[in-house]
Amino acid sequence: MRRFFSNRRLVIIIVCIIVCIALMNLSVVIRNKRSTPPLIQQFGNDIVGFTDRIVALPVNGLQGTSEAISGLLNTYQENQKLKGQVETLTQTQVRDETLSKENKQLKKELKLNSSLTDYSAVTAAVISRTPSSWQNQVIINKGQASGIKKNMPVLSGAGLVGRISEVNKTNSKVELISDSNDSSNRFAIQVTNKSGQTVNGVINEYDKATNRIVMGNVTSKKKLEKGDKVITSGLGGVTPKGLYVGKVISAGNDDYGLASKVVIKPAGDLSNLSVVTVAVSTN
Amino acid sequence: MLRLSKLRYGFPIGLLLFFFLDGSISQVFSNQMFNYPYTMVSYLVVLWLVLANFFENQISIPLVPWAIAIGVIFDLYYTGIFGVFIFIFPLVILLTRALSRALPNTFLVNFLIYFIDITMVSGLSYLANSTIHLTSLTSSEFLIYSLAPTLAYNLAMFVILYFPIQALFNRLR
């Protein structure tokens, strides 16, 4: 033991530990403060991301095939169910088209060029996932070149699943809302109840055990019910308004009985991420 | 001599392949591997480095520089937090070398050495992440929910891949 901790070796070990902690803290600071990582890091990540696609393509292809086979088995039942939905969908679509046209005209009259609801959707494929116990983070194949910026919201299927945490030129990292990092799921959302009243708030917890989003510290006395729809409110930052988040499961007092707490069932499917959509706000 | 052996190309290609497989496997099997509260972390890249140490024999591959290089890429590409695996990977190599020098080179002994390696990688990564507050797990929760499944997965991989990789190294030598 004495030989192992000789003077020189001890100094080297201590220097290594100090450098290690310094580097870690530096990268966390850079991650929090800057909108893009340093150029060298971006460049390196772009090259690594490019080579990753060569390996990821066959592996993800394998996943696609197995999913296709299992999908085939319950196609018939799904088809029956979907047929019914299609008819109502067409009606909604036509109405949606007329409304958006009318909206555009009204905006023009008001000389309003872009509002909070304007965004373009960028579709990206998930290349790989961080092998880590503490970070729920996936890497997607679109970056700055496609107009993606840090903190933009990411959707999968029907609803919100996370936000962009690091952008390189051709790939970026997405922190899922289930991540234990506090900033990963702070989205400004609003709930509209049956009588048309809205309640604003911020997501402040993701309950991993039950897969529920929790909106806490709500002081509004407006009555919310199970099934009320939750969307992003577009307040404060780069998240556009009107992204679907989920439905209210329950609303009640929080643990201290002062404010109320709304539990939301997320619409996005966190367990099956192969293609995601990034909402790039245009204003 | 590494210069004359086919491992000169084979080793880096294998290293990168296992590195990318870590991410791809985590992505494809994310439902099974990250099934709350248990989390399995794939460290195939460590498996490749450690097995290279066992099978290199007379050909001395510069494993510590390679471990540092792949540690840098791991930090930047996967986690985005620099300074964790850049130190852990070379440390694993040094530990494996120290242990394998003192012990006979058999499958069971190598299995136990790999057990210690994975425990160290997981433990140090937990320690690093808890110092910068990226995890709120307590140490007992870490042992049950993270370390145990991770060990199970990685040791299973070790058993499956030990002999194929040994054959590969013998062929490339």
- What is residue B68's predicted lDDT score, i.e. its pLDDT? 94
pLDDT of residue B47: 95
Half-sphere exposure for B74 (CA within 13 Å, toward CB): 29
The reply to whether residue B84 touches residue A272, judged by beta carbons under 8 angstroms, is: no
Residue A92 belongs to some domain of the structure? no
Q: Is residue A11 one of the residues assigned to a domain?
A: no
- In this predicted structure, what is the pLDDT of residue B155? 95
Range A159-187 average pLDDT: 85
**pLDDT score of A5:** 63
Q: pLDDT over 90 for what percent of chain A?
A: 5
> What was the pLDDT predicted at B63?
92
Nearest to A56 among B16, B24, B128 (CB): B24
Alpha-carbon distance B108 to B99, whole Å?
Answer: 13
Selecting from B134, B142, B150 the residue whose C-beta is nearest the C-beta of A181 gives B134
End-to-end CA distance of chain B: 9
Q: How many domains does chain A have?
A: 1
Q: Between residues 27 and 66 of chain B, which touch chain A (CB distance below 8 Å)?
A: 27-28, 30-31, 34, 36-37, 39, 41-43
- What is the C-alpha to C-alpha distance for residues A213 and A198, in angstroms, rounded to an integer? 18
Pick the more confident residue, B157 or A51.
Answer: B157
pLDDT of A256-277, one tens digit each? 777 888 899 988 878 778 888 8
- Mean pLDDT for all residues in chain B: 90
What gap in Å lies between CA A48 and CA A156, rounded to an integer?
25
B120-136: average pLDDT: 88
> Quick one: pLDDT band at residue B116, thresholds 50, 70, 90?
very high
Q: Is the pLDDT of residue A20 over 60?
A: yes
pLDDT of residue B154: 95
CA distance A149 to A280: 8
Is A232 contained in some domain? yes
Task: Tell me whether residue A216 is in a domain.
Answer: yes
pLDDT at B84 exceeding the cut of 70: yes
Q: Is the pLDDT of residue A2 over 60?
A: no
Please indicate, yes or no, if residue A93 is contained in any of the structural domains: no
**Taking a contact as any Cβ pair under 8 Å apart, which residues of chain B between 91 and 120 contact chain A?**
none
The domain of A239 spans 116-283
The answer to whether the beta carbons of residues B73 and B136 sit under 8 Å apart is no
Question: A175-210, pLDDT tens digit by residue?
Answer: 988 887 767 778 888 888 888 888 888 888 888 888
Within 13 Å, how many C-alpha atoms sit on residue A16's CB side?
A: 14
CATH at A199: 2.40.10.340
Amino acid type, B39: T
Q: pLDDT per residue over A219-247, tens digit each?
A: 888 888 888 889 888 887 778 888 888 89
pLDDT at B18: 93
Q: Does residue A9 sit within a domain?
A: no
Q: What is the mean pLDDT of residues B65-90?
A: 91
Q: How far is B153 from chain A (nearest CA, A)?
A: 13
Kindly report the number of other CB atoms within 10 A of residue B105's CB atom: 12
- A189 forms beta bridges with A201, A232
Q: Hey, where are the domains in chain B?
A: 7-172
Q: Between chains, do A56 and B23 touch, taking CB under 8 Å as contact?
A: yes
Lowest mean pLDDT among A1-5, A65-69, A124-128, B80-84: A1-5
Place of tokens 């009204």: A106
In a domain, A197, yes or no: yes
Confidence of residue A3 (pLDDT cuts 50, 70, 90): low
Residue A10 has pLDDT above 90, yes or no: no
Rounded distance, CA A244 to CA B58, Å? 61
pLDDT given at position B54: 92
Is residue B80 left, alpha or beta, with left meaning phi > 0 and alpha meaning psi from -120 to 50?
Answer: left
A71 within a domain of the structure (yes/no):
no
Q: Using the beta-carbon criterion (under 8 Å), do A271 and B30 form an inter-chain contact?
A: yes
pLDDT digits (tens, 9 = 90+) for A37-73: 888 888 888 888 888 888 888 887 777 787 778 778 7
Cβ-based neighbours of A198, under 8 Å, separated by 6 or more = A190, A191, A192, A222
